[in-house]
Amino acid sequence: MEIRLSDFKIKQIGVIKQVLDNHIAAKLFEYGILPGVQFSILNKAPFKGPIFIQIDNNRIALRRSEAAFIMVE
């Protein structure tokens, strides 16, 4: 079952299934956020702050609005 990356919990590990078509899709692809890639949630800042994920050895901070475009399982 696919859900949005923004709905994942801290320390959860998942696989990116799809990046929805939007104005930042190309930027997300440049960061290595691609279908089939495994990631983990490192932290979620309070008060609707950024979500910190790790892909391989890369740590990436995403706005929650950006994370909502990423479908994962």
15-73 tens-digit pLDDT = 999 999 999 999 999 999 999 999 999 999 999 999 999 999 999 999 999 999 999 99
Query: Is residue 71 one of the residues assigned to a domain?
Result: no
Query: Is residue 70 one of the residues assigned to a domain?
Result: no
Query: Is residue 28 one of the residues assigned to a domain?
Result: yes
Residue 36, phi-psi category: left (phi > 0), alpha (psi -120 to 50), beta (remainder): left
What was the pLDDT predicted at 18?
96
Query: Is residue 22 one of the residues assigned to a domain?
Result: yes
Query: Is residue 56 one of the residues assigned to a domain?
Result: yes
Q: Please state the domain count of the chain.
A: 1
Query: Is residue 73 one of the residues assigned to a domain?
Result: no
Query: Is residue 36 one of the residues assigned to a domain?
Result: yes
What was the pLDDT predicted at 7?
94
Q: Which domain holds residue 35?
A: 3-43+51-61
Q: Give the angle 55-49-37 at the CA atoms, nearest 5°.
A: 15
What was the pLDDT predicted at 1?
79
